Structure 1
């Protein structure tokens, strides 16, 4: 155990004398001006574009206009979240087709600028992650310096390691279930708050540490008092929040403004109107299917599939050589991670017996068709039963197109 002689209460006033040695200059006004200008440009884009602002964009706009939380670590997590969201936007597969193909010299120049932004953001994100990990380890190791260096200290370390493994398993499960970047960081911040509670428990000898700490001898009370009160609203760390917080809060506002601008500008890049599947069924020609069937299959439908549920459509086929066709996609904005959904097709005989036609697979989007060999019912199933938390917004259209009847050839007189 480290020597405790000379230890004094770690109060806000005591920390103030320490922070006096490490002043942090304010960010230049240009950072604030840039954030304001980016938000104004975003507003102009959403007003002028034919595509109205989406709910995700409206939520992001409100967040960019709001006041950052008065917490150092929450802002660090928030900056990491926004950097990941921006990197998601800048991923080549999510960019507009014109930029992916560098259709014009202007497109190529924009791609070069975005590549540079992506490289710098990846570097900053990595440094921020390393800083948070190192800082967490430093705090814990400093506290452990004053704990008994026998089995009790070992048990406290093992408890922390077990807790961190469980937290990582929670995050992995969320990602596997299709959680968005925002969902993941909501969970990460919840876990950070749990760490705060555990730290307070260590200081007050309660919770999981009660048995281990209650009878420890020689642990300085000033240390226990500090780790119990460290994150209180007006506790010792409030001095750090007031001194260093404003600069960090300015960065939070700036990175939110950058993300908002990139989101609305890329979503409306090279916007054009396309008429798709007008007066014709999909996958086969109007001449083959007939004008009436073309009109029938023209409209897409939308539905929400809750977590743990499925959505199905049953199509009736009266004759063989009909076509079963489908086209679907998940509706998701750039604020979300890529999602998928299970899909399969099966034949149901008049007696109720089921035969799998299209094996189960998970898709982000798909279109396809097949020619039937049996009359009866065909069931198309979108499966979200594997998701424990997240609903899926599905946009789809399906159709059963009857077989083409060839006109009878006129009889040829001898």
Structure 2
């Protein structure tokens, strides 16, 4: 059977979609992932098929309208009687739903977040109302549905009576004796061999990055590396300059996942400081938590429910009480004083359990249900 999926995110670096597509390919499906030219049209070396939708509008409501319109006709053209449709997030769900009804095809929905509750919609009530209306119309109609955390699953159940499975966004297992290919990447200067604190992910609002930067006014003898890109990067770079921290806080830029895997283990601590600005963040379970575990570094995390529960259940770090920069600095210092060797055994045990090789079995079960019906 053929599986058609699509995403507005960066098709080159979206690790969740890449893992899902690899697994489905392994399970014997013919997989095609549809992306956009919003970030160019890279030459992809993927074992599954890829297709790009040419986009004229680069942002705002016009972009979403253009994408959904073109995706609808792309799906119509590529679908046949042996197709399973796999939608990712609310921003692509409508065309998948319409095509599934027109051709009577099975539809699977992977919700990476609660789209209508994103912080970026807080000050845009009209836009939020549109997404909320779409969510309210579509979600109760989805039979095959999975999401990334228990918090999200419980919310969808309470709000819409849905019952999604939970497939966490965990990385592939990294074994300590794996042979690593040499990958060149120019690291920031560290002449005094200071310990590294690391953030990786989008540089966006509600990630607590500004609070982490401010915390470095109150802590010495370590550097802060920020791997990623996003709309807040320029603002935070200026903040670092204003606080005279340019010799200790470094922006590494966007790093390909394969390269990042070789850099993260160099850190002493991984940071996950998401703030409670909307339900989508409150119940988030970021993949960087699991990346840090696979890299063998303890985590300093926010006190949001899913992040706190994971860190405390597996005893792989500490949780802050609040986002006050001095409080963050104090917690950081506690872990630095302990050293990551203190957490080594717990991190190794967590890494064995929280890996894609275990999670993908849940994915297999969902698609096997569809095959049995077919």
Name which one, 1 or 2, has greater alpha-carbon Rg.
1
Normalised by the shorter chain, which TM-score bucket? Answer: under 0.3
Higher helix share: 1
TM-score (norm 2): 0.25
Superposition TM-score, scaled by structure 1 size: 0.23
Larger RCO of the pair (alpha carbons < 8 Å, separation 6+): 1
